[in-house]
A and B are shown apart, each in its own frame.
Chain A
Amino acid sequence: MKALELDGVHAGYGRTRVLRGVDLAVPEGATVALLGANGAGKTTLLRAAAGLLPVSAGTVRLAGRTAPAGADARARAGLCLVPEGRGVFPRLTVEDNVALFAGGRRRREAAFDRVAAVFPVLGQRRRQVAGTMSGGQQQMLAFSRALCTDAAVVLADELSFGLAPIVLDELFEAVAGLRRDGRSVLVVEQFVDRVLGLADWIYVLHQGTVTFVGEPAQLTDGSVFERYLGSGRQ
């Protein structure tokens, strides 16, 4: 059973085609890492999967069924995208952010407890305005979106974006926690080594098409990096 499937997906911005027939599957309970050079279409793929960007051809399926149109409907259908950059409401407090992620004030307390268990630092900043926190804390709050809902599929776009490596441990631990909970995860990441330890499957995207699918072990000899990602191994 596939939690998320992209089948021959084409998408782009106006006449600029970015995705040219992408096939991708996230098995239930698995973590998949999506790698690729800048401009390969990784973020576009996540946006198309989340329904933020209409696909011009192909289908997106959630748990075997065609995903509903519109990002809000897809979110309600159990898909959660943690977008690139700081995916928080900067002028709202941490608890208001959590209430929005959780889908209402009624579910706020339970959701907040879950968040505080994974990111203790957020537990102490309950009433702080999100935009005034450090970048790392904001990214934790952004990722909390995945903890606040029971979304079966979590898409995370460059969690490490602009963060110091030391902050990343907590975030990647949280991604691993999702996997232990049996959730299906698709991560886009620049820090290739860190994802290799995390992922069950690796996809490499190049100029809008998938050029490599395999297990992390296949990548360790470095030849795939040479071929698909250049030598800039981090």
Chain B
Amino acid sequence: MKEWMPFVVAGLTTGAVYALAATGLVVTYTTSGVFNFAHGAVGLVAAVVFYVLRVEVGVPTFVAAAVGIFGVAPVLGIAIDRLFLGRLDRAGPAAQVVVPLGLLVALQGGVTAWFGAASRPVAPVFSTGTFGVAGTRIGWDQVGVVALSSVAAGALGIFFRCSDLGLRMRAVVDDRELTVLAGIRARRVTSAAWVIGSAFAGLSAILLVPFVGLDAAILTLLVVQAFGGAVVGRLTSIPLAFAGAMAIGLGASFATRLVIGHPGLAGLPTSLPFIVLFAVLVLSPRDSFGVLGRSGDPGRRSVRIPRLSPGGTVVLLGAALVLPLFVHGGRLLVATAFLAYVLLFVSLGLLVGLSRQLSLCHAVFLALGATLLAHLVDAGLPFPLALLLGGLAVVPLGVAIALPAVRLSGLFLALATFGFGILAQSLLFGTSLGFGATGTVSLARPRILGVSFAGDRAYYFLVLAVVAAGVTAVEVVARTRLGRLLRALADSPVAVESLGVNPVASRVLVFCLTAFLGAVSGGLLATLYRSVNTTSFDFSASLLWVTVLVTAGSATIGGQIVAAALLALPAWFTASYLSEYQALAFGVAAILLAQSRNGLVGLWRRPDFRRLAAEGRVRLARSPGHDRLPPSPEMASPGVGA
């Protein structure tokens, strides 16, 4: 028993930090209906300001923390609320996820560009002294974190129970329109909630940095662990979210103790929050997550899939075929990568564009596709067969995600895939099927039927052939029954079910296909660079790709090609500033374009996009079909009804 006590103390400490973050997340989600994926990034910015003031300016710790918590974070909260949430009113569910996601990518990218990606140690906020209780050493800093977290949560509870503003927040959660009818300025109430929620994000991040250091990726991710707690509270209950986050902190700490001596399970403690996140979402009864109000009618955003014209296809293919004549050296590698990116975005577009399901774990498919290809080639299989089998071996993972996808939609699918992606990364990447203990896998360029593809130019044509085949397959799928079903499911799952069609099969199929194609593109990319490591395709890549694809236009092959070009751009110009600011730029662009019909391509194809924007402002409760019907005489004439 006694040997467990230090783990209880450590678990309570991290649990307290997660609980603060989860609390803030629930406050903002319930009052505004928008789930703030950038919650951790808001905390990150507050922590960076805290660090700069404290270390570089020399302001007293207490003042620096106050500026971060009560100044920077709330201002960010108000900015998010005022700049983005008004635009999200009645937007489709995809935009509701893409905008906060773009914000996450932009804030994290901005901080990294400005501050560097390296982690910086942070001196403790509280005393590092310890005291003994029943033979267990407890740090004053741990006591401080738990105490502060409990006080903050308690104060929030009293605020909700005993103040007018708190009551109004609860009212907005319950029924926004009714609050407005009571003469309450609901916008101000929502802004106040974002101030509180963001302050909690700042507080949790500043409490966390002395323990883990100031590191953009880790901090974003660690506060993201609060998602697990928030989901336990069904995203709406603060006490449950608080308790859930506490339990996750304790559980992770116990797991740390349990896995001592089992190196294969080393990833378990850190991935526990994501196991909880994924398990709760998948195992909860259907409809136990009520979608909060703001979502509009996604059917109105549907994009007609244009046929890839024969002329356009010939021109594109011709350009791709003659490109190696003009491009050499490093740029030929970039051009090859661009082709593989096309396949990557085509596979992602199947989900994001065609069936409008946001998947935030695409990088897992690429990473495992690459490592499986390497292992299969090592085992003596010929390259084409290894590429095929590697892709097929990833398909079960696609099925695993399709499981929640059948039951969850919009935000909750995004959350589940997000959890799944980080889970797979920390549990599978280290195994012998993944990158193994070294974290790196190397691959040789293949020799097929006696023809060597070792040269960059030869390999370019190999990739071109594979990508062309993959794109053709997807274009065929999009035009046949499966494609129609997926588009119909995106519009109205209920309508599809009422036709007697079981949506499960098509949902599972599309995830299998996307996993397979993703894995193939991962294998092609890894072979291009002759090696691949754990950071090549990590979870932040999944997020970046979604923002890039939404920026370019997710629904059409044109948009997917543009997305690939955008992703390849920094390497083409070998400009480091481009890649530094790439994440920031795509994050911002995704926020701006999340609600356009088809990203940049959609704007390009419609010169009259101002008219479109005007239409977009009057989004309706009814389907467009109703608008064009004249009022039915039977329904409206006197004599019926009354």
Are A13 and B621 in contact (CB-based, < 8 A)?
Answer: yes
Are B640 and A14 in contact (CB-based, < 8 A)?
Answer: no
* Given the contacts A39-B636, A229-B642, A230-B639, A101 and B167 also touching, CB distance less than 8 Å: no
Are B620 and A100 in contact (CB-based, < 8 A)?
Answer: no
Are A207 and B636 in contact (CB-based, < 8 A)?
Answer: yes
Among the 9-residue stretches B43-51, B177-185, B458-466, the one with 4 or more Cβ atoms under 8 Å from chain A is B177-185
Which of A15, A99, A103 neighbours the largest number of chain B CB atoms within 10 Å of its CB? A15
Are B185 and A72 in contact (CB-based, < 8 A)?
Answer: yes
Q: Which of B178, B618, B642 lies in contact with A14, CB distance below 8 A?
A: B618
Are A72 and B642 in contact (CB-based, < 8 A)?
Answer: no
Among the 9-residue stretches B168-176, B304-312, B382-390, B492-500, the one with 4 or more Cβ atoms under 8 Å from chain A is B168-176
Rounded to whole Å, the gap between the CB of B173 and the closest CB of chain A is 8
Within 8 A of B (CB), among A11-62: 13-16, 37-40, 50, 52
Is B262 positioned at the interface, with any CB of A under 8 Å from its CB?
A: no
Whole-angstrom CA separation of A52 from B621 in the bound complex: 14
Whole-angstrom CA separation of A145 from B618 in the bound complex: 31
Rounded to whole Å, the gap between the CB of A153 and the closest CB of chain B is 13
Among the 9-residue stretches A75-83, A116-124, A193-201, the one with 4 or more Cβ atoms under 8 Å from chain B is A75-83
Is B451 positioned at the interface, with any CB of A under 8 Å from its CB?
A: no
Is B611 positioned at the interface, with any CB of A under 8 Å from its CB?
A: no
Are A39 and B620 in contact (CB-based, < 8 A)?
Answer: no
Is B619 positioned at the interface, with any CB of A under 8 Å from its CB?
A: yes
Are B167 and A105 in contact (CB-based, < 8 A)?
Answer: yes
Interface size in chain A (residues, C-beta < 8 A): 46
Interface size in chain B (residues, C-beta < 8 A): 33
Within 8 A of A (CB), among B626-642: 626-627, 631, 635-636, 638-642
Q: Which of B174, B182, B185, B640 lies in contact with A91, CB distance below 8 A?
A: B174
Is A5 positioned at the interface, with any CB of B under 8 Å from its CB?
A: no
* Given the contacts A37-B640, A38-B641, A16 and B182 also touching, CB distance less than 8 Å: no
Neighbouring A residues of B635 by C-beta, 8 Å: 39
Output the nearest chain B residue to A72 by Cβ-Cβ distance: B180
Interface string of B175-198 (1 = CB under 8 A from A): 101111111111000000000000
Neighbouring B residues of A73 by C-beta, 8 Å: 183
Are A14 and B627 in contact (CB-based, < 8 A)?
Answer: yes
* Given the contacts A52-B180, A71-B181, A105-B164, A89 and B186 also touching, CB distance less than 8 Å: no
Is A222 positioned at the interface, with any CB of B under 8 Å from its CB?
A: no
Output the nearest chain B residue to A38 by Cβ-Cβ distance: B641
Neighbouring A residues of B183 by C-beta, 8 Å: 72-73, 75-76, 103, 149
Are B178 and A89 in contact (CB-based, < 8 A)?
Answer: yes
Whole-angstrom CA separation of A73 from B638 in the bound complex: 37
Within 8 A of B (CB), among A82-96: 83, 87-92, 96
Q: What are 30 A-B pairs with beta-carbon distances under 8 A? A: A16-B622, A16-B627, A37-B638, A38-B642, A39-B635, A40-B636, A50-B181, A52-B177, A52-B180, A52-B181, A71-B177, A72-B183, A72-B184, A75-B182, A87-B178, A87-B181, A90-B174, A91-B170, A92-B167, A92-B174, A100-B168, A100-B184, A103-B182, A105-B164, A145-B182, A149-B183, A225-B642, A228-B638, A229-B642, A231-B642
The 10 closest A-B pairs by CB, nearest first: A75-B183, A14-B620, A232-B642, A37-B641, A229-B642, A89-B174, A15-B627, A76-B183, A38-B641, A230-B642
Q: What is B's interface to A at a CB cutoff of 8 Å?
A: 164, 167-168, 170-171, 173-175, 177-186, 618-622, 626-627, 631, 635-636, 638-642
Contacts A73-B183, A96-B167, A229-B641 given; 5 further ones with Cβ under 8 A? A13-B621, A15-B627, A39-B636, A96-B171, A234-B642
